[in-house]
Amino acid sequence: MKVLNFDELMIGEGRPKICVPIVAKNIEEANAQASEIANMSADLIEIRGDFFEQYSDRQYVINLIHEVKVITNRPVIYTFRTGREGGEIQIQKEEYVSLLKDLIASKEPVLIDVELFTGEKEVKDLIGFAHDHGVKVVLSNHDFDKTPEKEEIYARLKSMEEMGADIAKIAVMPKEQYDVNILLDATTMAYLEMDIPIVTMSMGKMGAISRISGEVFGSSITFGTVGKASAPGQINVDDLSHMLEIIHRQCVK
How large is the angle between the packed helices 93-106 and 58-72, nearest 10 degrees?
A: 50
Catalytic residue among 17, 69, 136, 142: 142
Per DSSP bridges, beta strands 167-172 and 136-143 are: parallel
Are 170 and 153 contacting, i.e. CB atoms less than 8 angstroms apart?
yes
Compute how many other C-beta atoms are within 10 angstroms of the C-beta atom of residue 89: 16
Write the DSSP symbol of residue 228: S
Q: Assess whether 131 carries a catalytic annotation.
A: no
Q: Facing residues of 9 across strands?
A: 6
Catalytic residue among 169, 175, 242, 248: 169
Q: Assess whether 142 carries a catalytic annotation.
A: yes
Alpha carbon distance 221, 136 (integer Å): 15
Alpha carbon distance 16, 171 (integer Å): 16
The residues annotated with a catalytic role in the active site are 142, 169
